[in-house]
Amino acid sequence: MFKYSQYGEKRGEVWQWPTHMRLSRIVLMVLIILILTPLFTHFYLSNIERNIGTITHSAHSHVDLPDEFIEMNDADLKVHIEELLRIKGSVLSELRDMESKRQKLLAEIQSYMKSIEELKQELVHQQTNLNKLKISVEQAQVAQREALEQNTPDLALPIRLLPENVMEERLLPSTAESKKCRMFSCFDHSRCSLTSGFPVYLYEPDEFRILQKGWDVDGFLKTTLKQALGYNPHLTNDPKEACIYLVLIGEALKNSESVSSNSTDPVPSVDSTALRKLKYWGGDGRNHVLLNLSRRDLTIHTGNIFKSIDTGRAIIVQSTFTYDSFRPGFDLIVTPVLGPPGGDVWQECSAMLPARRKYLLTFQGEMKSDSPTSVERSELDTFVIEHLKRLLNTGTSDKFLFEFGCSLANEDNSNVGPEDWALCGTDGSRKMILKESTFVLIFAPGSELISTSLLQARLYEALRSGAIPVILGGDQIRLAYDEVLHWRRAVIFLPKARITELHFLLRTIPDEDILLMRRQSRLIWEKYLASVQSTVDTIVAVLRDRLNIPPLPVDTVAATSVFNETFQPLFVSTPVEGEQEESLGPIEPPFDSPSYRRNYSLILTQGHELWNDWGDPFRLYPALPTDPWLPSDAKFMGSGRGFRPIGQGQGGAGKEFSEALGGNQPREQFTVLLLTYEREQVLLDSIARLRGLPYLHSVVVVWNSPKPPSAELKWPDIGAPLHVVNAARNSLNNRFLPLDNLKTEAVLSVDDDAHLRHDEILFGFRVWREHRHRIVGFPGRYHAWDINTQNSWLYNSNYSCELSMVLTGAAFLHRHYLHLYWKWLPQAIRDKVDEYMNCEDIAMNFLVSHITRQPPVKVTSRWTFRCPGCPQSLSEDDTHFQERHKCINFFSQVFGYNPLLNTQYRADSILFKTRIPHDKQKCFKFI
Ligand SMILES: *[C@@H]1O[C@H](CO)[C@@H](O)[C@H](O)[C@H]1NC(C)=O
Ligand SMILES: *[C@@H]1O[C@H](CO)[C@@H](O)[C@H](O)[C@H]1NC(C)=O
Ligand SMILES: *[C@@H]1O[C@H](CO)[C@@H](O)[C@H](O)[C@H]1NC(C)=O
Ligand SMILES: *[C@@H]1O[C@H](CO)[C@@H](O)[C@H](O)[C@H]1NC(C)=O
Ligand SMILES: *[C@@H]1O[C@H](CO)[C@@H](O)[C@H](O)[C@H]1NC(C)=O
């Protein structure tokens, strides 16, 4: 509510004579009467008093009596005095009458003054309303004009062609031809239209066995892959509509049959007739994807599983390829599946800090004596090893750890695999060393190999532990998914000949870049490599990405209303005390933010960012906080639809500002998202205060209590739609439910007891429009280093000149982050929020700062938003703070670092505190 006193402003500076002429005349008359009456009476009375006084006085002292009285006898005198006393009495009573009349008149004046005041306010109010209506009408006219101009029919989706047959038979290409397969020559695009949604069919691994007798696909892989694909929205059961067909081939393991028969080959291979007999093989295996995943970080088998057979036009997905066998842009290199089936993986990762660890560089491995390499290259390798050994003794303060002979090597595994290098140490011992390594050396396998399981497994391990991989021979190899992932941001590729420059190079890399690379490593590892689920999703997504088919839209949470046919809310129209006297913008009917406008252009224009930066390449979102802006002249040169430039583009001060949204984005509205728990009156008051708020699309209340609202509740009619949504259970995480009835990109998240003025809300909205990827809001908080323990963070809400969080009890944020809160945040964080019934706002700040690497934006002077008369909210007590300290430290552990960033500025409106000419208005009166 407006509290004018707080700004030292007085109400009613302008008198409006003409309109109040009649009233004023009365007032004038009354004033005259009031002034004259006391004067008269005073004069009259004082005369009489003087007379009487003289008389009584003289009665006691004959000496001084005037002649007139001396001549009178006593009786006459008495009569005279009585006469005078009577006069005095009557005058006095007359006087009393007049006094009471005066009082009455005064009271009347006061009431008139009051009604003047009220009328004046009413006038201002009506004028504001009129202004608002005028602007609203103007805006509606512009919108209508736009709608008419837009009179082009919406593009219709092209008809999706479905083949008659599942896969008609075609001739197998010659082996030479299939060796040269590329997407354009071997892939059937007609099965994968742009709008198909990229359906994927999986051959049931138990039903279709395509390995030679005696071999079986690894059981764990079989079940987890099926399960993971089940969670992938592209999976289809209809082979007719499928775009690609997945065949699981490896990892191949010997089965019980092979133990009894000695005939089994020591190397597994594919049964080519079984392959040919796959139901939809279609003669040449086009659009088939052969998955030869490996689950162990060592290649148990040497040789090529596909050596003896022709895989036709099928795409091969595995970790080991020779230069000869790899068909660039067609086959896919993946990492071995080393992780759990799915779920939270953060526990596996090492902390990101400190940037520099105990060892600058480590290596554990052994060069194989019988490696099938040329003498020439062996010499280079020998030189490399000699150089590395010399590094150990250079007397630098940098620590190295190199193990070239594996005392620890597992005898079964150490000397198999196609590469020159064998593995050293057990998984656990390597993990210990990697945790202490800033960089870790990985040798490229032999020169004929473009990738091996071992190489990719070493990479996987290094990324997990945050040791930055330095691939020696990096120019010879290719890493997993390199058609979409920018590996240079996480890995150092170095030709072997550069070995002498290695130490120098590593020394020059500053902490910032080390941490940047480590953060990128972790992003890649967590999103694309960590679990069976991420591997499956990534394989499907890369193939889809190749074809420029957009991902499927992200799931929203269906909003179920607490109301139903039998239980309807009662609406009342309550006028709100102290309504706004500032015209802040047009009142318009709700309109949704445009959504899914970039279905087909997003991958084309920002595909790489989606994979490597802020994005989620697995799902399509209605809009992204980072969607591009038009240049400011475009809106006047053909792209102006929806834009509401200030003063039609001329600009202007407060008046023009209040009439148009301006800015770099088309017009839009915001949704108020309220989480409430059993504080009905507080909630209703909060909603009522939103009445008449410009740019408000709708109000969504998440009813966090199992008890439905009481039937007698009178819901305020605020002129915008109100949705009251059932929450499945009482959880603070519900504050960020990605509900399907949130129709705007801008979401104002507020506590049910937050007191925000309209001008504050609208200013916050305008600022958010320029910082769409950040949290923009009012209550600032920060994370402070605990200087007593020197090892943890403290949550701090004191007034301070630096902040790092803006609480979501009163903040704007992009709807996109609600999805990410549920999809991207590890479950452990949401569990912690439920455990403490606290910290959801801290979690959101962590998430957004982690993605954007920017601090939130604080607007206006308000620091805190508790309502004065409300019952004590639960956030007051000490345990609340204790929990919040713990949350910050726990979340930092989950993220591997503390993503919060400090900021030292806040946003106020442009002409705030600027001296401006009388004929100009400020942008906002008070902020
Ligand atoms: C398999 O090999 C074992 C020993 O190597 C031999 O005793 C056995 O007779 C062989 N079985 C067959 C079916 O050849
Ligand atoms: C695929 O099979 C072959 C032969 O069994 C093997 O060499 C290769 O490493 C396997 N796995 C992967 C992931 O490449
Ligand atoms: C409507 O909602 C009320 C309160 O939640 C519930 O008691 C009632 O059973 C519901 N009626 C129907 C028809 O769903
Ligand atoms: C974009 O995708 C969304 C979600 O699938 C869909 O509703 C919309 O119609 C699509 N737009 C176009 C132009 O295809
Ligand atoms: C906040 O400030 C008060 C007064 O300066 C101080 O006593 C208190 O310890 C501070 N709280 C925190 C959490 O720093």
Q: How confident is the model at residue 30 (pLDDT cuts 50, 70, 90)?
A: low
Rounded to whole angstroms, how far apart are CA atoms 212 and 268? Answer: 7
Inter-residue contact 825 to 843 (CB < 8 Å): yes
- Burial class from Cβ neighbours inside 10 Å (0-12, 13-18, 19+) for residue 883 reads buried
Q: What is the pLDDT of residue 864?
A: 73
What's residue 59's pLDDT?
Answer: 44
Per-residue pLDDT, 427: 75
pLDDT above 70 (res 615) = yes
pTM: 0.84
Q: Which residue, 682, 833, 840, 704, is CA-closest to 752?
A: 682
477 and 446 in a common domain? yes
Secondary-structure percent of the chain, ordered helix, strand, coil, rounded to 5 = 40, 15, 45
Q: Give pLDDT, residue 257.
A: 64
Ligand 3 pocket member 708 (CB < 6 A): yes
- Residue 561, domain member (yes or no): no
Residue 324 within a domain: yes
Q: Whose CA is nearest to atom 4 of ligand 5?
A: 798
Q: Residue 374 has what pLDDT? A: 43
Residue 514 is predicted with a pLDDT of 97
Confirm or reject: Cβ of 121 under 6 Å from ligand 4. Answer: no
Report CA(256)–ligand 1 centroid distance (Å).
Answer: 15
Average pLDDT, integer, range 298-320: 74
Which residue's alpha carbon is nearest to atom 2 within ligand 1? 262
Same domain, 383 and 318: no
Instruction: Locate 356 and state its tokens.
Output: 């520099």
Find the 619 Cα to ligand 4 centroid distance in Å. 13
Q: Is the pLDDT of residue 441 over 90?
A: yes
The helix (H) or strand (E) run that includes residue 384 is: helix 375-392
Question: What pLDDT is stored for residue 576 in this prediction?
Answer: 61
| Of 312, 380, 317, 64, residue with least CA distance to 174 | 312
Res 58: pLDDT: 46
Torsion of CA 14, 18, 20, 22, to 10 degrees: 150
More confident residue, 393 or 740: 740
Name the band, by pLDDT with cuts 50, 70 and 90, for residue 40: low
Distance 864 CA to ligand 5 centre (A): 15
Count other Cβ atoms within 10 Å, centred on residue 729: 10
The CB of 262 under 6 Å from ligand 1? The reply is yes
pLDDT of residue 679 exceeding 60: yes
CA distances (Å), origin 628, targets 447, 623, 665, 768: 44, 11, 10, 15
What confidence tens digit (pLDDT) does each residue in 230-281 have? 999 999 999 988 999 999 987 877 776 666 565 556 677 788 888 888 989 9
Asked whether residue 362 falls in the same domain as residue 324, the answer is no
Domain co-membership, 407 together with 312: no
- Of 469, 501, 529, the last residue of a domain is 529
112-121, 330-339, 696-705, 871-880: range with lowest mean pLDDT: 871-880
- Residue 151 structure tokens: 């009179």
Domain boundary among 498, 529, 560: 529
Nearest CA to ligand 2 atom 5: 305
Helix or strand run (H / E) with residue 247:
strand 244-250
Whether residue 408 is predicted with pLDDT greater than 90 in this model: the reply is no
143, amino acid identity = A
Please give the number of the atom of ligand 3 that sits closest to the Cα of 562: 5
Ligand nearest to the CA of 709: 3
Give pLDDT, residue 692.
87
- Helix axis angle, 878-895 relative to 840-852, nearest 10°? 30
Report the phi/psi class of residue 643: left, alpha or beta, with left for phi > 0 and alpha for psi in -120 to 50: beta
- Which has the closest alpha carbon to 762: 741, 783, 746, 784? 746
Residue 318 near residue 294, CB atoms below 8 Å: yes
Q: Is residue 912 part of a domain?
A: no
If asked whether residues 239 and 377 sit together in one domain, one would say: no
What residues act catalytically? 841
- Mean pLDDT to the nearest integer, 612-624: 91
CA of 710 to the centre of ligand 3 (A): 12
Residues 393 and 321 in one domain: no
Q: Name residues whose C-beta falls within 8 Å of residue 376's C-beta, 6 or more positions apart in sequence.
A: none
Mean pLDDT for 480-486 is 96
587 within some domain: no
- Average pLDDT (797-822) is 95
- Note the pLDDT of residue 176: 80
pLDDT given at position 13: 31
Q: Separation of 332 CA from ligand 4 center, angstroms? A: 29
| For ligand 2, mutation pick of 269, 299, 319 (most atoms within 8 Å of CB) | 299
Q: What is the mean pLDDT of residues 124-142?
A: 83
- Ligand 5 centroid to residue 798 C-alpha, Å: 6
Look at ligand 3, atom 3, and give the residue with the nearest C-alpha.
567
Query: What CATH number corresponds to the domain at position 365?
Result: 3.40.50
**Residue 708 CA: which ligand 3 atom is closest?**
5
- Strand segments (E) across 515-583: 570-572
Of residues 376 and 643, the one with the higher pLDDT is: 643
Indicate whether 879 pLDDT > 50.
Answer: yes
Ligand 4: distance of its center to the CA of 770 in Å?
Answer: 26
Tell me if 566 CB under 6 Å of ligand 3: yes
Cα distance between residue 466 and residue 444, in whole Å:
20
- The number of the ligand nearest the C-alpha atom of 262 reads 1
Residue nearest to atom 13 of ligand 1 (CA): 261
Length of the chain: 927
Domain of 388, in residue numbers = 354-529
Q: Given strand 793-796, what is the order of strands in its sheet?
A: 793-796, 780-785, 805-806
pLDDT of residue 10 exceeding 50 = no
Confidence of residue 153 (pLDDT cuts 50, 70, 90): low
Q: What is the phi/psi pair of residue 535, to 5°?
A: -65, -45
- Domain membership of residue 800 (yes or no) is yes
d(CA 732, CA 747): 17
Give the amino acid at 849. Answer: S
pLDDT at residue 132 is higher than 90 = no
- Could you tell me if 810 and 792 are in contact, meaning their C-beta atoms sit under 8 angstroms apart? no
95-104, 138-147, 165-174, 388-397: range with lowest mean pLDDT: 165-174
Task: Tell me whether residue 548 is in a domain.
Answer: no
d(CA 830, CA 841): 11
What's the first-to-final CA gap in the chain, in angstroms? 14
Percent of the chain with pLDDT over 70: 82
Per-residue pLDDT reduced to its tens digit, 636-670? 998 888 999 999 999 999 899 999 999 999 999 99
Residue of 423, 484, 418 lying closest to 451 (CA atoms): 418
Per DSSP, what are the bridge partners of residue 749?
Answer: 673, 811
The whole-angstrom separation of Cα 91 and Cα 373 is: 134
> Is 609 a domain residue?
yes
Rounded to whole angstroms, the Cα distance separating 381 from 366 reads 12
**Closest by Cα among 728, 732, 772, 775 to 752:** 732
Q: DSSP string of 166-204?
A: SS---PPPPHHHHHT--HHHH--GGGS-TTS---EEE--
Return all residues near 353 (Cβ < 8 A) that are at least 6 apart.
515, 897
Could you tell me if the CB of 596 is within 6 A of ligand 4?
Answer: yes
**What is the number of domains present in the chain?**
3
373 lies in the same domain as 281: no
> Within this chain, do residues 812 and 708 fall inside the same structural domain, yes or no?
yes
Is any ligand 2 atom within 6 A of the Cβ of residue 304?
yes
Q: Are residues 836 and 882 in the same domain?
A: yes
Phi, psi of 558 (to 5 degrees): -65, 125
Pick the more confident residue, 611 or 216. Answer: 611
Mean pLDDT, rounded, of the chain: 85
Confidence grade of residue 495 (pLDDT, cut at 50, 70, 90): very high
Residue 86 reports pLDDT greater than 80 = yes
- Atom number, ligand 3, closest to the C-alpha of residue 564: 1
Nearest to 830 by CA among 736, 924, 926, 900: 736
Q: Whose CA is nearest to atom 3 of ligand 4?
A: 596
Same domain for 750 and 899? yes
> Does the pLDDT of residue 824 top 60, yes or no?
yes
Q: What is the CATH number of the domain that holds 759?
A: 3.90.550.10
What pLDDT, on a 0 to 100 scale, did the predictor assign at position 106?
95
Question: How much is the CA Rg of the chain, to the nearest whole Å?
Answer: 41
**Of residues 210, 166, 204, 203, the one with CA closest to residue 188:** 166
Residues 418 and 283 in one domain: no
User: Is residue 44 a part of any domain in this protein?
Assistant: no
Same structural domain, 495 and 441? yes
Which of the listed residues 302, 333, 364 is the one where a domain comes to its end?
A: 333
| β-pair partners for 750 | 674, 810
Q: Name the residue with the closest Cα to ligand 5, atom 14.
A: 796
786: phi then psi, degrees, rounded to nearest 5 = -80, 105
Query: 169-178, 212-221, 356-365 — which one is most confidently predicted on average?
Result: 356-365
